[in-house]
């Protein structure tokens, strides 16, 4: 085994009563890619923040390259060759790439030398690692994948030998993620050490050499990636056996519930995002829409759920048309039995500053069950929220807690509980498990299949191919606003991947 780049010995950290890290021991070998997995709140990010000097451990020792290191500020970490790519990028959006790279590492007060040095350094890094970015581009005009590359460049510019990446693929498209992994492998080949924090087990299996699992603030295991399996890691993370692929029987599809015909939708800039799409969803089946993010799935969802105006085409719900001119209000659609779990739960699905019980009736507050005359029936609302908390295993179980204080998975359960418990005939779900833990994914998938088995029509849009394959009875693939193929659940990943990349589509067009 190679020499250790980093050793953490007996690290403890508490925030008030919460013990975020308990007695953590970890050894990261030089020149390897080391994965750290765990559910949200398992303490991964806290541990890495301690390593980067953002927080200080209550007790314990850090050794870098075999030497004990006192890391009190990010400056100390940078000086020791530790660089970090944060989950939420630490970039100044209206600065150029160059300005972001030199910020904090400028050698002279008038910046002349710093800028010249940064330009030549960026050229060198581009040559060595294939990290190509225009140094004069403004950050906010760059796609997310490139912004992340700037973060990596920032770390390398400061001489990082050890690079920590916190959930780097959460915001990336699959193609961007692949590119990132190629860069990370390149870094490893050049002798750098990479620490990858994630809760996506697939990534761990694809790219890491070693993987450590955290659960509830403790380090539960470290494995060689080649000698472990996704199932074992999932079990270590959650602490019990997890079904990564939920069992389900054959679909017993009934009559058509939702019929989309020749639907065309444009975005706010006037670009056609949904181009003449037609499909049906029948009672008792789950239809999955696969595709790389940005190929019109979001606009399709918004048009069907009455949030976005359609240019042409029709959508029939139970044989009656939905008004697509923008006059339809989502509340009316809800009354007609169409429930919508939006893709972006933070901005569309929830009011994060509200209490949990308020969010659990959001949009249904006119329902007589929640009213007492013209007033809200607070007791009924809270009791209703408590029922949902119990039924959907939402944690913590306090319905008076601010929604922002729930984890991503539990927030998603709040939205799902709200929409599913209205017993809709048609359920439309965007990204059902984005940013959700393994354990909660299993639960959400089971619920969606239960809905199907009750004879509901379910439409799932997801960029996670595994999820689409595991849930759907029929899979539609969207590319550039069109449906480029329909496959059964037995379709292989490679087959769907080609469709998602538009390959078959182009061949057909020729």
By the criterion CB under 8 A, which residues form the site for other proteins? Answer: 15, 52, 54, 73-75, 78, 84, 86, 88, 90-95, 99-100, 102-106, 108-111, 114, 154
Minimum Å gap between C-beta 36 and other proteins is 18
Minimum Å gap between C-beta 427 and other proteins is 34
Per-residue tokens: 21? 């890290």
The helix or strand, by DSSP H or E, that contains position 328, with its residue range, turns out to be none
Number of C-beta neighbours around residue 90 at 10 A:
13
CA atoms of 96 and 106, how far apart (whole Å): 15
Number of C-beta neighbours around residue 408 at 10 A:
19
Q: Which is nearer to other proteins, 86 or 452 (CB)?
A: 86
Minimum Å gap between C-beta 8 and other proteins is 20
What's the maximum distance between 2 C-alpha atoms anywhere in the chain? 72
| Crossing angle (nearest 10°) for helices 408-420 and 378-391 | 110
Minimum Å gap between C-beta 26 and other proteins is 21
Q: Which is nearer to other proteins, 115 or 256 (CB)?
A: 115
Q: Which is nearer to other proteins, 2 or 92 (CB)?
A: 92
Upper half-sphere CA count for residue 51 (Cβ side, 13 Å): 33
Q: Which is nearer to other proteins, 92 or 271 (CB)?
A: 92
Per-residue tokens: 387? 């029922």
Per-residue tokens: 94? 């209206």
Minimum Å gap between C-beta 46 and other proteins is 8
Minimum Å gap between C-beta 183 and other proteins is 20
Q: Which is nearer to other proteins, 100 or 228 (CB)?
A: 100
Cα distances from 77 to residues 22, 27, 59, 313, in angstroms, run 22, 17, 18, 57
Minimum Å gap between C-beta 300 and other proteins is 31
Q: Which is nearer to other proteins, 93 or 393 (CB)?
A: 93
Q: Which is nearer to other proteins, 154 or 413 (CB)?
A: 154
Q: Which is nearer to other proteins, 110 or 509 (CB)?
A: 110
DSSP symbol at 13: E
Of the candidates 229, 300, 223, the one whose C-alpha atom is nearest the C-alpha of residue 480 is: 300
Minimum Å gap between C-beta 150 and other proteins is 11
Q: Which is nearer to other proteins, 102 or 478 (CB)?
A: 102
Per-residue tokens: 209? 């050499």
Q: Which is nearer to other proteins, 158 or 474 (CB)?
A: 158
Minimum Å gap between C-beta 106 and other proteins is 5
Exposure letters 156-187 (e unless 16+ CB within 10 A, then b):
bbbebbbbbbbbbbbbbbbebbebbbebbeeb
CA atoms of 10 and 28, how far apart (whole Å): 15
CA atoms of 274 and 294, how far apart (whole Å): 11
Number of C-beta neighbours around residue 329 at 10 A:
12
Q: HEC profile for 365-411?
A: CCCHHHEECCEECHHHHHHHHHHHHHHCCCCCCCCCCEHHHCCHHHH
| Residue 210, SS3 per DSSP | strand
Exposure letters 209-246 (e unless 16+ CB within 10 A, then b):
bbbbbbbebbbebbbebeebeeeebbbbbbeeebeeeb
Minimum Å gap between C-beta 107 and other proteins is 9
Minimum Å gap between C-beta 441 and other proteins is 25
Q: Which is nearer to other proteins, 78 or 459 (CB)?
A: 78
């Amino acid at each position: 085994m190679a020499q250790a780049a980093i050793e953490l010995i007996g690290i403890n950290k508490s925030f008030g009563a919460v013990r975020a890290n308990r007695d953590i021991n970890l050894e990261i070998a030089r020149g390897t890619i080391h994965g750290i997995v765990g559910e949200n709140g398992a303490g991964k990010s806290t541990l890495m923040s301690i390593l980067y000097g953002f927080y200080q451990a209550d007790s314990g020792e850090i050794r870098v390259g075999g030497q004990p290191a006192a890391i009190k500020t990010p400056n100390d970490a940078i000086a020791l060759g530790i660089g970090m790519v944060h989950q939420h990028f630490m970039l100044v959006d209206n600065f150029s790439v160059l300005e972001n790279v030199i910020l904090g590492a400028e050698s002279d007060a008038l910046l002349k030398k710093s800028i010249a040095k940064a330009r030549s350094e960026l050229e060198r890094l581009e040559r060595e690692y294939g990290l190509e970015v225009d140094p004069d581009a403004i950050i906010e005009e760059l796609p997310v994948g490139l912004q992340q590359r700037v973060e990596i460049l920032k770390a390398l510019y400061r001489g990082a030998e050890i690079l920590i990446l916190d959930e780097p693929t959460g915001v990336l498209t699959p193609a961007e993620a692949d590119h990132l992994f190629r860069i990370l492998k390149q870094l490893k080949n050049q002798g750098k050490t990479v620490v990858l924090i994630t809760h996506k087990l697939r990534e761990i299996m694809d790219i890491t050499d070693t993987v450590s699992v955290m659960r509830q603030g403790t380090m539960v295991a470290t494995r060689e990636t080649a000698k472990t399996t996704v199932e074992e890691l999932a079990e270590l993370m959650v602490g019990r056996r997890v079904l990564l692929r939920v069992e389900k029987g054959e679909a017993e599809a009934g009559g058509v519930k939702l019929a989309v015909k020749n639907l065309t939708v444009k975005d706010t800039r006037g670009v056609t995002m949904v181009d003449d799409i037609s499909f049906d969803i029948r009672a008792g089946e789950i239809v999955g829409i696969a595709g790389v993010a940005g190929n019109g799935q979001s606009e399709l969802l918004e048009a069907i759920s009455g949030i976005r105006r359609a240019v042409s085409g029709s959508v029939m719900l139970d044989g009656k048309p939905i008004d697509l001119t923008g006059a339809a209000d989502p509340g009316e659609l809800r009354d007609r039995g169409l429930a919508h779990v939006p893709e972006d739960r933070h901005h569309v699905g929830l009011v994060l500053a509200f209490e949990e019980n308020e969010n659990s009736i959001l949009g249904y507050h006119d329902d007589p069950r929640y009213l007492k005359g013209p007033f809200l029936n607070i007791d009924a609302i809270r009791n209703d929220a408590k029922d949902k908390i119990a039924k959907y295993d939402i944690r913590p179980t306090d319905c008076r807690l601010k929604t922002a204080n729930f984890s991503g998975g539990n927030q998603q359960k709040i939205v799902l509980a709200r929409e599913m418990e209205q017993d809709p005939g048609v359920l439309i779900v965007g990204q059902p498990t984005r940013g959700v833990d393994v354990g909660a994914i299993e639960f959400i998938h089971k619920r969606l299949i239960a809905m199907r088995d009750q004879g509901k029509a379910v439409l799932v849009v997801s960029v996670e191919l595994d999820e689409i394959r595991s849930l759907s009875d029929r899979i539609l693939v969207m590319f550039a606003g069109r449906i480029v193929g329909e496959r059964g659940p037995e379709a292989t990943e490679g087959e769907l991947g080609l469709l998602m990349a538009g390959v078959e589509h182009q061949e057909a067009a020729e």
